[in-house]
Amino acid sequence: MAESKEGRTRGGRAEGAATLDRVVETVRRILRADTVSIASFSEAERTITWLAASGVRSAANALEVAIPVRGEFAERAAAFDREGEEIIFEVRGLAGDLPESEFPLHSAEGVRDLAIARLRARGESLGVLAVGFREHHRFTAEERQRLEGLAEMAALALDNARLLDTLGAAKRVWEQTFDAIPDGIIVHDDRLRVMRCNMAAAEAMGQHPSEVAGMSCAEAFTRLFGERAAAYHMRPGTPRTTSSFELQAEDGRRYLVSVAPLSSLEPEVWSPESNDGDSLRPGFQTPSSWSVITWSDITTLAEVQEQLARSRRLATIGQLAAGVAHEINNPLAAITTCAEATLRDVKSDPATARAAEERQWDYYLEEIVRQALRCKQITRGLLDLSRQKRARRDPVELNRVVAQAAQIFERRGQEEGGVRVEVELDDAVGEVATDETMVRQVLDNLLANALDAAGEGGSVRVSTLLDGQRVRVEVRDTGPGIPPETLARIFDPFFTTKDPGRGSGLGLAISLTLAEALGGALTVESKPGKGSCFRLWLPRRTPEKL
């Protein structure tokens, strides 16, 4: 019997079942019965479910299995359960044994006589206590009175077992929910010692939750966010008030961290067991300043917000630029026309030409034309920035477009300083429904910047990669990288780090606008001394019908 109970415990029986096992053993010993069992009866389904048994050899396979009952016994049990008057009734088998169809568990044990006691608690019928004898046995009044008292004890135990099962189920649901939350959660005490963490927090630290319990919050923060974050936010004596703050980990990812004190806990609180840090049991520690720390990774969200802010700035600047560009283009056209006409007239007369050459009038006029044309290029860029272009969705062999752009800039790199241009194409990319002209314009801007950044003897790597439902075009250089303060402004219009006259600061701003018009995005990753990497993300969509 002990072996079968151990097997059932390994099989996952509820915690309250152990109490019921002790009750049936006690009842069997007191009444000197052959078999004792506790069961619940469903009148609607006419089934009986065995919850605990003693002296029953076949109980191991029958416990917690609903077994149908019928016949006279089922009718008597239903009436017995409904009327609430009779506490005990006896059943005597015909010809020595009960028919198996009426009471299957005990009939298999050769039980001849049974006494059935009703189990009720708090006005609710919980089940029955069955006491059986294999030899003919007539229950005396003393035995019936003793059985009534034992039934009350069993009813109380069954009610407590049900409550324990309910609490156990609620605890399991809570633990599963706690571990299923994708954000990291840590509960710590007033000494900044971790009392509990969820699975997401443990995995972020490369540990099991049982290994994290007992760890200091400073060590946990060091594993999660780095030493600087731990030194600043986990100083001893820091008050644990409700607060939220954003921090950046050493790997560059950004997190939103919230701290909330658990001031509403009663003196009897949850604390780690002494022998198992992964489980909880009631303890008697008074949490003077327990707190819950939660954090979520907002790196992607922050990037999207920054991209949205840039888009809004570009939209505002674009509206202003459109009006200014239209107003400036007309005077620029007049200046260019007049300067070209004057230069033509100066060169048409030999005497004037000699005077112009001596006084460099021809140089000044040519410079006026050059700078006017440069101004027109800037205004044209402003118009491109402000226009809300609608991208086409034509089938485009993206690898072909990337290879052609890289080939042109490879020649330019060799001519300007021996810059190598490497190409790595993913054959799985195939056709992409996009606007080839706009993609080519973005690639030209990125490659031109990469060549300038790589410098003499450097290299530029261009690659494509299929990433789920998106395609990534990557342009990486071996230049000096971009400082953080510059990286934050790199997509702003007119912002440039190039020497005067070498750039207007509109290339990346226009490229970002085009990338968003294509339904994608343009991102950058750069660290000083480690080069820069620009990524153009394009969606794989269905081509438009012609």
Nearest residue to 296 (alpha-carbon basis) of 262, 250, 260, 258: 258
User: For residues 385 and 493, is the Cβ–Cβ distance under 8 A?
Assistant: yes
DSSP string, 112-147: -EEEEEEEEETTEEEEEEEEEESS-----HHHHHHH
Burial of residue 434 (number of CB atoms within 10 Å: 0-12, 13-18, 19+): buried
The residues near 158 (Cβ < 8 Å, ≥ 6 apart) are 20, 23, 38, 51, 119, 121, 126, 127
SS (H, E, C) 310-330: HHHHHHHHHHHHHHHHHHHHH
Burial of residue 99 (number of CB atoms within 10 Å: 0-12, 13-18, 19+): middle
Q: Which residues pair with 524 in a beta bridge?
A: 534
Q: What is the pTM of this model?
A: 0.44
Instruction: Kindly state the tokens that stand for 2.
Output: 């002990």
How many other CB atoms are found less than 10 A from the CB of residue 289? 15
Interhelix angle 361-386/507-517, rounded to 10 degrees, is: 30
User: For residues 233 and 247, is the Cβ–Cβ distance under 8 A?
Assistant: yes
Q: How far is CA 196 from the centre of its chain?
A: 20
Positive or negative, the Cα torsion across 105, 109, 112, 115? negative
The residue ranges of the chain whose pLDDT is under 70 are 1-16, 43, 58-62, 64-66, 69-108, 236-240, 263-289, 310-311, 314-315, 317-318, 321-322, 326, 381-389, 498-505, 542, 544-546
Q: What is the pLDDT of residue 500?
A: 58
User: For residues 50 and 39, is the Cβ–Cβ distance under 8 A?
Assistant: yes
Q: How far apart are CA 197 and CA 185, in angstroms?
A: 6
Q: What is the pLDDT of residue 535?
A: 94
User: For residues 142 and 174, is the Cβ–Cβ distance under 8 A?
Assistant: no
Q: How far apart are CA 487 and CA 404, in angstroms?
A: 29
Q: How far apart are CA 295 and CA 186, in angstroms?
A: 9
Q: What is the pLDDT of residue 464?
A: 95
Nearest residue to 37 (alpha-carbon basis) of 130, 152, 108: 130
Q: How far apart are CA 509 and CA 178, in angstroms?
A: 44
Half-sphere exposure of 492 toward its Cβ, with a 13 Å CA cutoff?
Answer: 10
How many other CB atoms are found less than 10 A from the CB of residue 45? 11
Phi, psi at 311, each rounded to 5°: -60, -40
Q: What is the pLDDT of residue 280?
A: 42
The residues near 332 (Cβ < 8 Å, ≥ 6 apart) are 372, 375, 376, 379
DSSP state of 97: B
Positive or negative, the Cα torsion across 150, 152, 158, 161? negative
Walk me through the domains of the chain, giving residue ranges and CATH numbers: 2-175 (3.30.450.40), 183-297 (3.30.450.20), 305-386 (1.10.287), 394-539 (3.30.565.10)
Q: How far apart are CA 165 and CA 26, in angstroms?
A: 22
Q: Which residues pair with 462 in a beta bridge?
A: 423, 475
Interhelix angle 436-454/398-417, rounded to 10 degrees, is: 30
